[in-house]
C-alpha cells in the first residue's frame, strides 16, 4: 500500500475523526473560555500604549490651544455647552483636565459609555509632565498642553477614534450577554454536527436492520457505503450479510422447487411400474421386470435426495467448513484409482499428468466429492476405449486441475449452465446414464467454499475440459 493511501485510510478512520472532532471542540472550549475571560477583564479593555506624539499631532494640539485662549469664551462650561466646532471637528474630540481643583476631567463630545469611562479614568489617574500619545484599543489620545480659560488652568488633550479595529475590539463593543452567547452557540453547532455525523448513519443502519428482521431480505443500506470510515465499512458488511441471507433463501427456494419438479418424473414412473405389476393379467416375467424398474427408480430417488441435501448444505454460506493441511496430489491419485474401476467397464483409461507435489489447506471430503463428480462425468460421457486425462499444475500460488475427456462436448450456450442444479444438456442421455443433474452443481459449491473457481470449455478437437482452480 502506498504511503498516500495509508495516510488517506488513517484520516478516514472513524476513530481518528472522533478524536479530531472532540479535540476541536476541546480546543474551541479552551480558547472560548480564555477569550471570554480575556475580554471581560478590565485590563484588556483599559490597555494603553504610550509613545512619542507625531509632529502633526503636536501642531494640531498647540493650534487648538491658541484658538481657545484667543477666543472670548468666559469659562469652560460655556465651551462645553455650545460645543463650538470652530476649535475642533470630528472625528476629533477635546479633553480638559483641571489642575487647580480636584483634577476633574471634561470632554467636548461624549464617547460611547465604555470608551468615555476608560479615557476619563486614565486622565484622572495619570500625572503628565510632558506631551505623549496614549493609544487605547478604541481611542488615540494626544496631550497635554497647558491652557488658561478665565484664569483657570487646564491640561488640554485631543483624541480621535481608532480606525483599525480587530475582531477582539469588535467583541469588546458587544454586550456581555452577547460575548458569552456567541462561543456557546458555536460550541453547540459543533457538537450538533458531531452528533448528527454519528447518529444519522447509525439510524439508517438501524432502520435497515429492522426491515431485515421483518423478513425483507432485499433491504440494503444506501448513502453510507461510500464513506471510508468504520461506519461505511459497517454499512458494507451489513449489505454483504443481507446479500448472503437473500442468496441462501433464494437457493433454498430454488432447490425446493427444483427437487419438487424433478421428483415427479421418477415418482410417476414408479407408480406406473407398480400399477402394471399389480395387474392380474401381468405375467411373472413381466412382473419381475416391473419390480426391477421400481427398484431402479427408488435408487434414483434416493440418490437425488442425497445430492439435494448435499447441495443444500453447501449453498448455505453461513455454514463454516473445517479445513486441514492435505496432500492434494495424493487425493487426486486416490480418486483416479477409485474411478478407474468404473472406467474399466468401458475400457477407458484415466491418467494423471503431474510433476509436482501439491499441499494445501482444505476439506478432504468436499474436495474428494467435487473432483469425483467431475471425473465421473468425464467417464460417463466419454466413448469406449478412450482416455480421460487429469493435468495438475502450480502457478503463482494457484493450483490448477484440468480434467479432459474425449466425448462429444456440449453446445457453447450450455457451458455456463453446466453447474446449475438439475441442468441437463440432453435429458435422454442423462436418464440413460442415471444422472440427477446435481453432480457439477455440488462440485461448484464445494470449490467455491474453498475460495476457488471451476469452469468448463470445449476442446479444440472434441471433448470437454473442466478446470478447477484453488488457492494454496
Q: Please state, in angstroms and rounded to a whole number, the distance separating the CA atoms of residues 376 and 328.
A: 18
Q: Please state, in angstroms and rounded to a whole number, the distance separating the CA atoms of residues 424 and 429.
A: 9
Query: Cα separations (Å) of 275 from 169, 270, 272?
Result: 107, 9, 5
**Range of lowest pLDDT (115-119, 291-295, 313-317, 466-470):** 313-317
pLDDT band per the 50, 70, 90 thresholds, residue 269: confident
At 317 the pLDDT is 52
Q: Please state, in angstroms and rounded to a whole number, the distance separating the CA atoms of residues 370 and 307.
A: 12
At 318 the pLDDT is 46
Average pLDDT for 99-124: 80
pLDDT band per the 50, 70, 90 thresholds, residue 66: confident
More confident residue, 243 or 11: 243
Question: What SS3 state is found at 92?
Answer: strand
At 422 the pLDDT is 67
Q: What is the pLDDT of residues 21-60, one digit of tens each?
A: 777 777 777 677 766 665 555 454 557 778 888 888 888 8
Average pLDDT for 78-87: 66
pLDDT band per the 50, 70, 90 thresholds, residue 258: low
Report, as residue numbers or ranges, the catalytic residues.
261
Average pLDDT for 138-160: 85
Q: Does 229 have pLDDT greater than 90? A: no
At 416 the pLDDT is 79
What sign does the dihedral 158-161-162-164 (CA atoms) show?
negative
Q: Does 90 have pLDDT greater than 70? A: no
Write down the pTM of the prediction. 0.45
At 429 the pLDDT is 44
pLDDT band per the 50, 70, 90 thresholds, residue 431: very low
Q: Does 345 have pLDDT greater than 90? A: no
Radius of gyration of the chain (CA): 49
Mean of pLDDT over the chain: 78
pLDDT band per the 50, 70, 90 thresholds, residue 428: very low
At 316 the pLDDT is 61
At 391 the pLDDT is 92
**Range of lowest pLDDT (189-203, 228-242, 266-280):** 189-203
List, in order, residues 6 or more apart from 77 with CB less than 8 Å away.
none
At 190 the pLDDT is 73
Q: Does 2 have pLDDT greater than 80? A: no
The arrangement of strands across the sheet holding 464-471 comes to 349-353, 387-395, 398-404, 464-471, 453-458
Q: Give the best-scoring range by mean pLDDT among 11-20, 41-50, 198-207.
A: 198-207
Average pLDDT for 62-80: 78
Angle made by CA atoms 412, 414, 416, in degrees to the nearest 5: 100
Amino acid at each position: 500500500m502506498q504511503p498516500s493511501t495509508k495516510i488517506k485510510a488513517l484520516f478516514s478512520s472513524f476513530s481518528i475523526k472522533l478524536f479530531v472532532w472532540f479535540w476541536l471542540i476541546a480546543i474551541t472550549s479552551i480558547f472560548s473560555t480564555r477569550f471570554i475571560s480575556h475580554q471581560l477583564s478590565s485590563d484588556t479593555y483599559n490597555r494603553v500604549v504610550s509613545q512619542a506624539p507625531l509632529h502633526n499631532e503636536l501642531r494640531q494640539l498647540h493650534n487648538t490651544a491658541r484658538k481657545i485662549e484667543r477666543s472670548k469664551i468666559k469659562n469652560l462650561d460655556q465651551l462645553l455647552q455650545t460645543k463650538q466646532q470652530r476649535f475642533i471637528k470630528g472625528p476629533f474630540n477635546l479633553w480638559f483636565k483641571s489642575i487647580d481643583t480636584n483634577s476633574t476631567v471634561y470632554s467636548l463630545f461624549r464617547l460611547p459609555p465604555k470608551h468615555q469611562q476608560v479615557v476619563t479614568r486614565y486622565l484622572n489617574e495619570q500625572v503628565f509632565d510632558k506631551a505623549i500619545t496614549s493609544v487605547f484599543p478604541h481611542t488615540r489620545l494626544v496631550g497635554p498642553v497647558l491652557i488658561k480659560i478665565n484664569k483657570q488652568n487646564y491640561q488640554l488633550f485631543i483624541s480621535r477614534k481608532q480606525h483599525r479595529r480587530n475582531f477582539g475590539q469588535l467583541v469588546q463593543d458587544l454586550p456581555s450577554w452577547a460575548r458569552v452567547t456567541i462561543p456557546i452557540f458555536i460550541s453547540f453547532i459543533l457538537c450538533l454536527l458531531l452528533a448528527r455525523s454519528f447518529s444519522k448513519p447509525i439510524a439508517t443502519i438501524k432502520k435497515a436492520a429492522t426491515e431485515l428482521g421483518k423478513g425483507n431480505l432485499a433491504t440494503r443500506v444506501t448513502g453510507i457505503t461510500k464513506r471510508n470510515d468504520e461506519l461505511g465499512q459497517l454499512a458494507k458488511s451489513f449489505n454483504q450479510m443481507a446479500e448472503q441471507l437473500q442468496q441462501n433463501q433464494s437457493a433454498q427456494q430454488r432447490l425446493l422447487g427444483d427437487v419438487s419438479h424433478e421428483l415427479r418424473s421418477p415418482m410417476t414412473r414408479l407408480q406406473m411400474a407398480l400399477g402394471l405389476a399389480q395387474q392380474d393379467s401381468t405375467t411373472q416375467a413381466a412382473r419381475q421386470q416391473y419390480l426391477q424398474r421400481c427398484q431402479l427408480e427408488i435408487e434414483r430417488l434416493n440418490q437425488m435426495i442425497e445430492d439435494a441435501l448435499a447441495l443444500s448444505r453447501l449453498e448455505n454460506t453461513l455454514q463454516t467448513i473445517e479445513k486441514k493441511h492435505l496432500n492434494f496430489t495424493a487425493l487426486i491419485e486416490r480418486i483416479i484409482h477409485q474411478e478407474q474401476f468404473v472406467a474399466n467397464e468401458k475400457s477407458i483409461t484415466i491418467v494423471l499428468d503431474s510433476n509436482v507435489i501439491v499441499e494445501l489447506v482444505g476439506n478432504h471430503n468436499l474436495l474428494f466429492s467435487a473432483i469425483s463428480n467431475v471425473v465421473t462425468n468425464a467417464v460417463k460421457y466419454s466413448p469406449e476405449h478412450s482416455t480421460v486425462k487429469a493435468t495438475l499444475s502450480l502457478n503463482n500460488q494457484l493450483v490448477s486441475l484440468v480434467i479432459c475427456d474425449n466425448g462429444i462436448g456440449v453446445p457453447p450456450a450450455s457451458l455456463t449452465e453446466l453447474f446449475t442444479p438439475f441442468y441437463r444438456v440432453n435429458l435422454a442421455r442423462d436418464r440413460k446414464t442415471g444422472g440427477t443433474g446435481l453432480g457439477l452443481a455440488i462440485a461448484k459449491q464445494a470449490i467455491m467454499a474453498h475460495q476457488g473457481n471451476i469452469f468448463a470449455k470445449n476442446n479444440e478437437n472434441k471433448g470437454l475440459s473442466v478446470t478447477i482452480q484453488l488457492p494454496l
